[in-house]
Amino acid sequence: MIGVAAPILLTLLRFAQGLAIGGQWGGAMLLVTESAPSNQRGYYGAFAQAGAPIGVILANLALIITSALVSEEFFNTWGWRIPFLASAVLIIISMYIQLNLEDTKAFKELAVHRDEQDNNVENIIKKSPIIEAIRKYPKRIILAAGAFLNIQVTFYILIAFLLAYGVESAKMSRDDMLAAVLIASAIMVPMQFIFSAYSDKKGRRGIFMLGAVLSGLWAFAVFPLVDTGNFWLITLAVSGGLVFLAMMYGPQAAFFTELFSTEVRYSGATLGYQFGAIIGGAFAPTIAVKLWTELDIFWVSVYMAFSALLTLLSVMALTETFQSDLNQTQ
């Protein structure tokens, strides 16, 4: 048996995954939104955002199929590794796509702009875009992280913590909980496109703030619905939560893109995203477990609602961006 090496390897691999995703999200998001027509950045950005729910769908589907094909004992000892091994195919596809991408028009124009600058010492020195982003936009980075907070907290509670809670508290089977999350994720995908397209016409902040309010309120309905032990009510609990997240997560790519000027856009948007992901998503399931086991499941709802309040306040402090010019270089 691999013993203690298993959790160590899992932790190291999660660090590696974090480094990869940390850099990739910003690039994927900018590639899509900077290449999109100016009046459809939200809609096009939703394609990059669709990766999260589609990933959940594929992962849950793989686990359900594997579980159905092997015995419970084999699944628990070795079978759970099969979906992870099968995912190697996606690495090949991802590498092919990334090796054949070109820079966006906005980035190319920035490069030309820099080449045309006077060759004085100040312009020759290449400053770190991360340091420049923090220097120029500290408030926006913090507020962007706050805007992303509830998305991360609620998403990981719904797709991770809720699986354990449903099995333990509502006595649901693992496959039923996986199926409920799968169905809810499938509903989330088209809703992201609908809300993102709406943000192209009416603005990012309004739909984002409405999503935060509804997400905070829905937090108090999730666990009572799960406690019924009824599969369809559990599916409703997860679906409602993910639909309200779609109101924020769909337009987020365009919103974060538009918050920063071209020369630091990648760094600024990524910093806001990753700070929010670390503070929100990294600890959400652990905090939820502690609140559930040491206090009561009600306090998990309070935690989710509090994160929604912080997101609401963060977005309120940001300016509307949907009509901004992405080709600005300063």
CATH number at residue 136: 1.20.1250.20
Residue 77 lies in a domain: yes
Residue 330 domain-assigned (yes or no): no
In a domain, 154, yes or no: yes
The DSSP call for residue 278 is I
Asked whether residue 93 is domain-assigned, the answer is: yes
What pLDDT was estimated at residue 28? 79
Q: What is the pTM for the complete model shown?
A: 0.85
Phi and psi, residue 296, nearest 5°:
-165, 155
* pLDDT at residue 124 in the model: 41
On whether residue 83 sits in a domain, the answer given is yes
As a residue count, the chain comes to 330
- Tell me, yes or no, whether 6 lies in a domain: no
Confirm if 193 and 250 have CB atoms less than 8 A apart. Answer: yes
Tell me whether residue 328 is in a domain: no
**What's the gap between Cα 217 and its chain centre?**
20
Q: Give the DSSP letter of residue 264.
A: G
pLDDT of residue 121: 45
The pLDDT of residue 329 is 46
Nearest residue to 193 (alpha-carbon basis) of 124, 237, 250: 250
pLDDT for 115: 54
- Residue 30's pLDDT is 81
| Full residue range of the structural domain in which residue 57 is found | 11-117+130-317
Q: Measure the N-to-C terminal CA separation of the chain; round to a whole number of Å.
A: 57
Q: How many domains, in total, are found in the chain? A: 1
**Secondary structure (3-state) at 9:** helix
CA-based nearest residue to 176, from 119, 232, 133: 232
Provide the residue-wise pLDDT of the chain in tens; the chain has 330 residues.
Answer: 566 776 677 677 766 666 666 667 777 788 888 888 989 999 999 998 998 899 899 888 988 888 888 887 887 777 777 877 777 777 777 677 666 666 656 555 555 555 555 455 445 445 678 899 999 999 999 999 999 999 999 999 999 999 999 999 999 999 999 999 999 999 999 999 999 999 999 999 999 999 999 999 999 999 999 999 999 999 999 999 999 999 999 999 999 999 998 888 888 999 999 899 889 988 899 999 999 999 999 999 999 999 999 999 999 999 998 888 777 644
Q: CB–CB of 160/290 below 8 Å?
A: no
pLDDT of 110 reads 55
Distances, alpha carbon 266 to alpha carbons 54, 61, 256, 263, 273, in Å: 24, 33, 10, 8, 11
Residue 326, domain member (yes or no): no
